């Protein structure tokens, strides 16, 4: 059964309350209807957008005729649909993207609205995104872990074994996810028993480091995403 603890950091200037997060999540999950939209107007949004804190995470925005697409690093394309002149939504997940349009007509970035939070991506040159993708492919080919991520993963595993997550090494969003999932995480640790060893497996197409953990009564797979600018965990999952 999968047990996932995952989140991606929010702007450091924003620290929403749990009530605000719940309100935003409710708004993001409401049904949406696509409006009539001139496809040529979408061309100004086409390009690459880099996460403001996780430099290896990008959205690539494209258009094919009357269809608009968004792709996050290491994930398949998702078709998005207009709900306003600058905001678009996905149908397969409760998530939206809004574009920052300046008065001079330039597009400076986009905001991902998902899971009750708003993540900021700044517009960058295509070469920046290409270089980041090449770096991921290099890491995949070399097959070596990011030692900074590994150290934080060990800290989190050790903390969970002692009965509480290590909130000091988490981004604000990941802290919130840990709080919401802690009872399930504690039960998982009780089920698996004592942690015995950790083996690095590979780097996946997202650039996440994948590990197999051995426990007293079973195995699990840890996935660790890129760190924030201040070296915090921003995305981590565990499945067993």
Which CATH number does the domain housing residue 129 bear? 2.40.128.50
- DSSP labels, 12-30: TT----HHHHHHHHHHHHS
Residue 89 near residue 80, CB atoms below 8 Å: yes
In a domain, 230, yes or no: yes
Provide the pLDDT for residue 163.
Answer: 82
Specify whether 116 is located in the same domain as 187. Answer: no
The residue among 101, 136, 171 that closes a domain is 136
Domain of residue 48 covers 31-136
In a domain, 26, yes or no: no
Specify whether 195 is located in the same domain as 116. Answer: no
pLDDT, tens digit (0-9, with 9 covering 90-100), for 2-60:
334 344 433 334 457 778 888 998 999 999 999 999 999 999 999 999 998 888 889 99
CA distances from 111 to 62, 100, 107, 154 (A): 16, 8, 12, 32
Backbone angles phi, psi at 159, to 5 degrees: -65, -45
Residue 113: strand pairing partners: 96, 118
CA distances from 183 to 18, 65, 157, 164, 221 (A): 17, 48, 15, 10, 19
Residue 204 has pLDDT above 70, yes or no: yes
pLDDT, tens digit (0-9, with 9 covering 90-100), for 83-109:
999 999 999 999 999 999 888 889 999
The residue among 116, 136, 156 that closes a domain is 136
DSSP one-letter code for 226: P
In a domain, 180, yes or no: yes
E-assigned strand segments in 94-182: 95-101, 107-114, 117-124
Specify whether 151 is located in the same domain as 220. Answer: yes
Please tell me the distance from the alpha carbon of residue 237 to that of residue 239, in angstroms, as a whole number: 7
Domain count for the chain, please give it: 2
Please tell me the distance from the alpha carbon of residue 206 to that of residue 197, in angstroms, as a whole number: 24
Please tell me the distance from the alpha carbon of residue 238 to that of residue 240, in angstroms, as a whole number: 7
Please tell me the distance from the alpha carbon of residue 220 to that of residue 110, in angstroms, as a whole number: 35
Please write down the long-range contacts of 39-48, taking CB distance under 8 Å and 24 or more positions apart: 39/63, 39/65, 39/66, 39/68, 41/85, 42/68, 42/82, 44/105, 44/107, 45/99, 45/107, 45/110, 47/107, 47/123, 47/124, 47/126, 48/123, 48/124, 48/125, 48/126, 48/128, 48/129
Provide the pLDDT for residue 4.
Answer: 40
Specify whether 39 is located in the same domain as 132. Answer: yes
| pTM beyond 0.95 | no
Specify whether 158 is located in the same domain as 113. Answer: no
Specify whether 127 is located in the same domain as 150. Answer: no
Q: Give SS3 for 74.
A: coil
């Amino acid at each position: 059964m999968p047990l996932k603890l995952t989140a991606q950091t929010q702007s450091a200037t924003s620290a929403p309350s749990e009530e605000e997060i719940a309100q935003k999540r409710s708004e993001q999950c409401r049904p949406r209807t696509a409006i009539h939209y001139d496809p040529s107007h979408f061309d100004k949004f086409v390009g690459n957008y880099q996460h403001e804190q996780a430099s290896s995470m990008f959205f690539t925005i494209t258009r094919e005729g009357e269809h608009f697409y968004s792709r996050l690093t290491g994930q398949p394309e998702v078709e998005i649909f207009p709900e306003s002149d600058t905001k678009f939504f996905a149908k397969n997940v409760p998530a939206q993207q809004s574009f920052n349009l300046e008065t001079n007509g330039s597009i400076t970035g986009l905001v991902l609205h998902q899971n009750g939070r708003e993540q900021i991506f700044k517009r960058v040159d295509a070469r920046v995104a290409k270089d980041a993708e090449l770096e991921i492919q290099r890491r995949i080919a070399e097959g070596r872990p990011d030692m900074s991520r590994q150290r934080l993963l060990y800290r989190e595993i050790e903390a969970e074994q002692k009965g509480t997550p290590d909130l000091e090494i988490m981004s604000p969003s990941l802290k919130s996810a840990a709080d919401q999932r802690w009872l399930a995480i504690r039960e998982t640790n009780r089920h698996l028993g004592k942690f015995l060893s950790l083996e690095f497996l590979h780097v996946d197409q997202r650039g996440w480091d994948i590990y197999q953990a051995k426990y007293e009564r079973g195995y699990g797979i840890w996935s660790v995403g890129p760190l924030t600018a201040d070296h915090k965990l921003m995305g981590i999952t565990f499945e067993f």
